[in-house]
């Protein structure tokens, strides 16, 4: 019996989104989801460069011509993510004056330190972060309608396009890692060590950056006091404090999918969510292709 390969084509898109129309802060008063997504956006440009460099440092060990083509497509997509998020961050800096630059400086410091690690370990960290972004993309697809009801259209366009491409190439870094480290016990333990570092980086990084952004939201609370009173106690977009952000992260991350990574036999495409990519393509024909 033939087993269907669920992997969709990795598409090279040329994406340009005009973020000048983003409304000023706040989009969702006190909402952890808003601050969490903005903090992630500010980290992405430097992170994407780290991912590209980590794979490039090991790609000479890859012999599979199909995987080599996928690596080149991965480089294109990640470079485009860095560019478009940088465009978005330049506009977000309007509401977070100086803070976006501060987060960029912090990201340079952290990823610069990671650049000094052995190439194979950098690749294992990258594979772990790619799994993290892929399962968060999965969650974004599940809540697309809620995102469209509550977030600015252009930011949703950015988030879902990024989610689609994270899904398209979610197996690439993992396959490169297996080509470099193999499937034995050492390769497995090294992969898990990389995932533990990736988890600390992603969760700690976003929480730390969100803490930096919180001051601007508190200033907005004083400018828009009536919006605060209109928030229902049981609203899923709960008041923004650090405990609320932690609670939101606990809900936003699909933890069963996260822990799948720790299985020795795991592969990203055992989580078959290619139908979300197909749905997005049907709803956004020609996006980034003209």
> For position 81, what pLDDT does the model report?
98
Range(s) of the domain holding residue 40: 26-268
- Whether residue 282 lies inside any domain: the answer is no
CA-CA distance, 128 to 119, in Å (whole number)? 14
Is residue 16 within 8 Å of 156, Cβ to Cβ?
no
- Whether residue 154 lies inside any domain: the answer is yes
Task: Give how many domains the chain has, as a whole number.
Answer: 1
Q: pLDDT (tens digit, 9 = 90+) per residue, 257-273?
A: 999 999 999 999 999 99
Is residue 34 within 8 Å of 102, Cβ to Cβ?
no
Does the pLDDT at position 137 exceed 50? yes
Task: Quote the DSSP letter at residue 110.
Answer: H
CATH of the domain at 49: 1.10.620
- Whether residue 220 lies inside any domain: the answer is yes
CA-CA distance, 98 to 144, in Å (whole number)? 31
Task: Quote the DSSP letter at residue 183.
Answer: S
> Of 27-36, 38-47, 67-76, 279-288, which range is least confident?
27-36
Q: How confident is the model at residue 135 (pLDDT cuts 50, 70, 90)?
A: very high
**How many residues appear in the chain?**
290
- Whether residue 13 lies inside any domain: the answer is no
CA-CA distance, 131 to 170, in Å (whole number)? 7
More confident residue, 19 or 222: 19
Task: Quote the DSSP letter at residue 268.
Answer: G
Instruction: Say what the pTM is.
Output: 0.89
Task: Quote the DSSP letter at residue 31.
Answer: -
Question: Which among 97-101, 104-108, 225-229, 263-267 has the top mean pLDDT?
Answer: 263-267
Task: Quote the DSSP letter at residue 21.
Answer: G
- Whether residue 125 lies inside any domain: the answer is yes
> For position 198, what pLDDT does the model report?
96
- Whether residue 133 lies inside any domain: the answer is yes
Does the pLDDT at position 44 exceed 50? yes
- Whether residue 2 lies inside any domain: the answer is no
Does the pLDDT at position 230 exceed 60? no
- Whether residue 244 lies inside any domain: the answer is yes
């Amino acid at each position: 019996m033939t087993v269907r390969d669920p992997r969709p084509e990795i598409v090279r898109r040329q994406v340009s989104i005009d973020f000048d129309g983003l409304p000023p802060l706040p989009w969702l008063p006190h909402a952890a989801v808003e601050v969490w997504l903005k903090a992630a956006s500010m980290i992405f440009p430097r992170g994407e460069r780290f991912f590209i460099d980590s794979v490039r440092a090991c790609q000479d060990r890859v012999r599979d011509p199909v995987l080599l083509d996928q690596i080149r497509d991965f480089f294109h997509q990640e470079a485009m993510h860095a560019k478009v998020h940088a465009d978005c961050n330049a506009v977000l800096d309007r509401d977070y004056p100086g803070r976006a630059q501060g987060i960029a400086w912090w990201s340079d410091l952290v990823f610069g330190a990671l650049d000094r690690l052995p190439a194979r370990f950098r690749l294992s960290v990258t594979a772990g972060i790619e799994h993290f972004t892929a399962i968060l993309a999965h969650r974004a697809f599940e809540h697309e309608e809620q995102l469209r009801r509550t977030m600015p259209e252009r930011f949703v366009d950015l988030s879902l396009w990024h989610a689609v491409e994270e899904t398209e190439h979610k197996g690439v870094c993992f396959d490169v890692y297996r080509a470099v480290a193999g499937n034995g016990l050492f390769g497995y333990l090294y992969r898990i060590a990389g995932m533990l570092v990736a988890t600390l980086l992603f969760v700690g990084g976003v929480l730390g950056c969100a803490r930096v952004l919180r001051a601007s939201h508190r200033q907005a609370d004083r400018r828009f006091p009536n919006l605060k009173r209109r928030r229902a106690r049981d609203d899923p977009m709960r008041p923004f404090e650090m405990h609320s952000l932690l609670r939101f992260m606990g809900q936003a991350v699909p933890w069963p999918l996260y822990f799948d990574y720790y299985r020795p036999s795991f592969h990203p495409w055992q989580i078959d969510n290619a139908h979300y990519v197909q749905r997005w393509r049907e709803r956004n024909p020609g996006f980034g292709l003209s």
